[in-house]
Amino acid sequence: ETGVTQTPRHLVMGMTNKKSLKCEQHLGHNAMYWYKQSAKKPLELMFVYSLEERVENNSVPSRFSPECPNSSHLFLHLHTLQPEDSALYLCASSQDAQPMGGYTFGSGTRLTVV
Amino acid sequence: KNQVEQSPQSLIILEGKNCTLQCNYTVSPFSNLRWYKQDTGRGPVSLTIMTFSENTKSNGRYTATLDADTKQSSLHITASQLSDSASYICVVSARTSGTYKYIFGTGTRLKVLA
């Protein structure tokens, strides 16, 4: 257990479904992130939150909607996804949004869109 | 263009053997380089971080080297164990005007066989 907990671990959803991914960190960090990891591709940064404010949105389609109600929790709301959105979604946290000290990653949610 | 390339893409070795993974980058201005280990079904975990002035850093059986002139790094694993089977990801950060940008490699998938 790294201190960053993601649920669910696995998710299968149809293209018309709405689901949410949850991330919780117990490290007292101020910044949280969503990354997408597809096979044979580098990790792609999706969203960055610092002190509950979104500070970065890397041209992510609107079918992905993040929410950060407080500095310990981060959600990724999903709707009308496409099969190419199937991937491992990793949540990470860091002390601040300029993490010289690096990230702490969760174990990820393996998403399959059918 | 900032890029991080890792080689080989995958590697199979016998338990007890040594191996070396490579990371070449074209990231500028360079700030630091990290190696992460990602076990199957888990998030990446940091192994080492190296700054511009560091040539070698060890973490147990893992030794990372950095040549900032040639923009190359390597991760050497000594006396491999079955638990070393994982993906190893090189991440290079660039710092511009106080902002860090992180560029991920695609990783090397290592399989250690008994």
Residue-wise pLDDT for B26-74, tens only, equals 988 888 999 999 999 899 999 999 888 889 999 999 999 999 999 999 9
What per-residue confidence (pLDDT) applies to A100? 65
Q: Are B105 and A42 an interchain contact pair (Cβ–Cβ within 8 Å)?
A: yes
- The whole-angstrom separation of Cα A54 and Cα A74 is 11
Query: Which residues in chain B have Cβ-Cβ distances shorter than 8 Å to A45?
Result: 102
Residues of A in contact with B45 (CB under 8 A): 2, 105
**Is there a contact between A4 and B42 if contact means CB atoms under 8 Å apart?**
no
What does pLDDT average to over chain A?
Answer: 91
- Contact flag B41-A105 (C-beta cutoff 8 Å): no
Residue B102, chain A, CB below 8 Å: the answer is yes
Total count of residues recorded for chain A: 114
* pLDDT for res A58: 76
Residue A8's φ and ψ, nearest 5 degrees, are -75, 170
* Residue pLDDT, tens place only, A49-104: 988 888 777 789 999 999 999 999 999 999 999 999 999 999 999 988 776 668 89
Q: Which residues of A touch B49 (CB under 8 A)?
A: 102
- Cα-to-chain-centroid distance, residue B17: 18
Q: How far apart are CA B41 and CA A105, in angstroms?
A: 12
